A and B are shown apart, each in its own frame.
Chain A
């Protein structure tokens, strides 16, 4: 239905073709880019950046979150700071990262990992903090060492929170990757669509937007499926 509307809008001349290309032109640009391999390489670069940054973010988020979340004292002292940093836009630390790391791929990766870490970190802290009192008492009764408590009770309890945090952080990772590519001129779809817009090549711009939408759609669907599978034990 959407494509039909799009087709009608462009062919009837409701919207200037400079801004909105016809669907045929977009898919032409898309297939040409995919066949020549240019768009494939750019998509690969963006997806790679997103996945690596997201992996780092998830790992760091769970580890740091577990370290903070396991101790009530650390939670009381550090959690307010985390709440303060959380609403800070991830891309806002990009200038700081640029002046520390320079305009490099590593800089973009750092910002992606940093920005995408917060949902996972806060979810882990919250998940560990909300362990049921009786489970805590069981652990105390068994004289479980703290490490075992985190591993056997805390993290499984936090898993649903962590997984939804990871889903959110995947979205953040994609957004920050694209912004990073735009600012730091790293190869990828972000740079490609910015250049296409500057040279008024709207069909290439739309091809990039379509691909980015597809990346978002596929990654979200994959994570939703994984979440369902991993949390099957919750609903026997």
Chain B
């Protein structure tokens, strides 16, 4: 009984809120173009799931977020390693990095539109830009904390640059890398949805926007809820992944 209560507790507060909203939207707020009862929102969402638009839009958003994440993270990882290992490279590029890093990723949306037009490539490029910088900075910090004696060993063994990276650097930065990855996953999803809302006519963000423009508040709230669910799910998954990697790498729980 007590455990059942503890399990249900997280849902109590949102349930009360949704209940209030439902009541308000069915009585005084009925006929509003802005707010719909949550029950209707759920029905619209299920209808969208039925005709396949839910799956398609979610797939597009997650796919572009993943591609952009991949590009941004690989780039950030490589450059971050170089900057972390070589003091001179870090000094030369310090100013450039510090100047480019705070450029808000959404400022790149018009530029990406100009270069790529609408569609997949534009969104991937914006996501890649947004995830590149945190990955770069965190990788650089992680590489700088690699035990110097390990690097000396690598030198004594006359390992090539690639061997040094694979055998020495990569294993020692992996746990921190996954912390950075978790951060970047969250950023990638937010930026992907934002790009769709602001410009790109594909994916979940656009579906949300078009539902609003066609004065269909039920569908709009359904999408909003779904985006929340997807975001929460992705974040939970990456959190699990990070914990699993940390355990595998021998970190104390």
Contact of B99 among A2, A77, A190 (CB under 8 A): A2
B210-240 vs A, CB cutoff 8 Å, 1 = contact: the mask equals 0110010100110010011001101100000
Please tell me if A32 contacts chain B, counting CB pairs below 8 Å.
no
**In-complex Cβ contact of B9 among A77, A90, A94 (8 A):** A77
**Surface stretch bound by A, among B50-58, B90-98, B145-153, B172-180:** B90-98
Q: Chain A, interface size: which category?
A: 35 or more
Given known contacts A93-B224, A212-B103, A99 and B33 CB-to-CB distance under 8 angstroms: yes
Contact B232 A80 (CB under 8 A): no
In chain A, positions 59-92 with a C-beta closer than 8 Å to chain B are: 76-78, 80-81, 83-85, 87-92
Q: Is the CB of B198 within 8 A of A209?
A: no
A91 touching B194, Cβ below 8 Å: yes
Tell me if B's interface is mostly helix, strand, loop or mixed. helix
Q: What is the bound-complex CA distance between A53 and B217, given in angstroms?
A: 26
Contacts of B211 in A (CB 8 A): 95
- Assuming the contacts A216-B103, A217-B102, asked whether A92 and B205 have C-beta atoms less than 8 A apart, the reply is yes
- The binding surface of chain A is classed by DSSP as helix
A100 touches B9 (CB 8 A): no
When A92-B197, A179-B198, A197-B113 are in contact, do A209 and B107 touch as well, CB less than 8 Å? yes
Query: Contact between B224 and A205 (Cβ–Cβ < 8 Å)?
Result: no
Contacts of B253 in A (CB 8 A): none
Given known A76-B9, A77-B9, A197-B110, contact A1–B217 (CB-CB < 8 A): no
Residues of chain B contacted by A217 (CB below 8 angstroms): 98-99, 102
CB of B151, distance to nearest CB on chain A (Å): 26
Which chain A residues lie closer than 8 Å to B115 at the CB level?
19
Is A193 an interface residue, CB under 8 A from the partner?
yes
Which parts of A177-236 form the interface with B (CB within 8 Å)?
A: 178-179, 182-183, 189-190, 193-194, 196-198, 200, 202, 205-206, 208-209, 212-213, 216-217, 220
**Which residues of chain B have C-beta atoms less than 8 A from A174's C-beta?**
104
B83 within 8 A of partner (CB): no
Return chain B residues, CB-CB under 8 Å to A2.
95-96, 99-100
- Indicate whether A10 reaches chain B with its CB closer than 8 angstroms: no
B20 within 8 A of A: no
Residues on the A chain within 8 Å of B40, using CB = none
Q: Assess whether A213 is in contact with B99, with CB atoms less than 8 Å apart.
A: yes
Annotate B141-166 by CB proximity to A: 1 below 8 A, 0 otherwise.
00000000000000000000000000
Q: Tell me if A171 is interfacial: C-beta within 8 Å of chain B.
A: yes
CA distance A93 to B221 in the complex (A): 9
Please indicate the chain A residues that have their CB under 8 angstroms from the CB of B235 in the complex.
87
Q: Is A153 an interface residue (CB 8 A)?
A: no
| Bitwise interface map of B from 1 to 32 toward A, beta carbon under 8 Å scored 1, else 0 | 00000000111111001000000000000000
Instruction: Report the interface size for chain B: residues with CB under 8 A from the other chain.
Output: 54
Chain B minimum-CB-distance residue to A91 = B194
CA distance A56 to B228 in the complex (A): 24
Minimum distance in angstroms from A198 CB to a CB of chain B: 8
Which residue of the partner chain, among A1, A87, A194, A206, contacts B228 with CB atoms under 8 Å? A87
Task: Across the interface, name the chain B residue whose C-beta is closest to A77.
Answer: B13
**Closest A residue to B213 using CB positions:** A95
A98 within 8 Å of B (CB atoms)? yes
**Is B193 part of the contact surface with A, judged by Cβ < 8 Å?**
yes
Are B102's CB and A95's CB within 8 A? no
- Candidates A81, A196, A209; contact of B13 at CB < 8 Å: A81
Would B103 and A209 count as touching, CB distance under 8 A?
yes
A112: interface (CB < 8 Å): no
B224 touches A96 (CB 8 A): yes
Q: How far is the CA of A212 from the CA of B231 in the complex (A)?
A: 27
B193 adjacent to A92 (CB under 8 Å) = yes
Known: A85-B228, A194-B110; 14 extra A-B contacts, CB below 8 A, are A2-B95, A80-B10, A92-B205, A95-B212, A95-B220, A96-B34, A99-B33, A99-B35, A175-B104, A193-B111, A197-B113, A202-B111, A213-B99, A213-B102
Nearest 10 pairs of A and B residues by beta carbon: A216-B102, A80-B10, A197-B110, A95-B212, A87-B231, A213-B103, A99-B34, A2-B96, A89-B190, A91-B194
- 27 residue pairs A–B, Cβ–Cβ below 8 Å: A18-B114, A80-B10, A80-B11, A80-B13, A84-B14, A84-B228, A87-B232, A89-B189, A91-B194, A92-B197, A95-B211, A98-B212, A99-B35, A99-B220, A100-B34, A175-B104, A175-B194, A178-B107, A179-B198, A182-B198, A183-B197, A196-B110, A200-B114, A202-B114, A213-B99, A213-B100, A216-B102
